[in-house]
Amino acid sequence: MARNSFKIFPGALVCEESKLRGDITVGAGTIIHPSASIIAEAGPIIIGENCLIEEQAKIIHRLPFDQQNKDNTPVLIIGSHNVFEVDCTIEAPKIGNNNVFESKCFVGNKVTVSNGCTIGAGCRITDEQILKENISIFGSKCQIRESIDKPVPQILQMETLMKILPNYHHIRKPNKKH
């Protein structure tokens, strides 16, 4: 694994207790809760702006077995306005914008997530596929439907967290300029 190196843009809120490993870049306005883990095992992770990464969420950059031992290091790029809810495990190699990963869902490392998708609570997605835009996966049988709109962003919740979290936790200082 690569050496730890974190780039945090101003306006991001990264709690010191969060478990960060490897080369990680955090965009402005993104909130990372104290016990979230982000593990850049196979290569750097770049997180976009205004993402919300909640408690116990795990974002792991891990390659499938058949793609390991290649020369080029892949970069996991996560877009903006994504929500990673409590205790989700995400290993997707690419994530677009405005996605919601609900509590305890699992997304395997062969699934590419586009934009505006909702992975429902407890749903496990492991087969190799590209999730189309605005798809929601829900229920115990992982039913799929297409929505007309992307999920509503949680602006109010994020604003509150921005105010409250620094009162109770140590925050990593931003080390990047715009």
Partner 1 sequence: MSYITGPDVVKYACTCGLLKPIPQLYFCKHCLQIRCRFCVCHEVDSIFCGKCSENIPSAEARVKKNRCANCFICPSCQQELSTRIASKGPANPDDAKSPIKKTYYLSCYFCRWSSRDVGIPDQPSATGGWPERENVHINRLQEVLDTYKQIMHSEKQQKESDKRKQRGKFVSYTDKTGVTASALRKRIGLPDIPHAMLKKPKPPEPAVAKAEVDELPESIFTEPIKLMEVTTIEQRLMQPECQPLTVDKLFPVHKQLSIKQSLRCRTCEHNVSKPEYNPNSVKFKIQLLAYCYIPEVRFVTVEPLRAGQTVELIIKFTNPTQYQTTITILDLDLDEQAQYVEEQKLIDLTQNLEQALSLQEKQPMSLPSLPYSSGSQPSSLLSLPRLPSVIVKPRKIFTETNCDVAIPESSFILPPRDDAAEYDDSSEVHNFEDDPKLIKWRKSNKAFVKLAVTPRADLKLGDEVVCGFTMQHIYTNVLPPAVENKQPQKYDHKVRVFLTLGKVVGSE
Q: Interface residues with partner 1 (CB under 8 A)?
A: 118, 120, 136, 138-139, 143-149, 151
Are 119 and 107 contacting, i.e. CB atoms less than 8 angstroms apart?
yes
Closer Cβ to partner 1, 16 or 128, answer by number: 128
Minimum distance from CB of 156 to partner 1 (Å)?
13
Residue by residue, DSSP assigns 118-149 as EE-TT-EE-SSEEEPTTEEEETTTTEEEE-SS
Closer Cβ to partner 1, 73 or 147, answer by number: 147
- In 3D, which of 49, 67, 70, 47 has the Cα closest to residue 59? 47
Minimum distance from CB of 132 to partner 1 (Å)?
8
Minimum distance from CB of 103 to partner 1 (Å)?
13
Closer Cβ to partner 1, 14 or 111, answer by number: 111
Minimum distance from CB of 145 to partner 1 (Å)?
6
Residue by residue, DSSP assigns 15-58 as BTTSEEESEEEE-TT-EE-TT-EEEESSS-EEE-SS-EE-TT-E
Strand, helix or coil for residue 156: helix
Closer Cβ to partner 1, 77 or 144, answer by number: 144
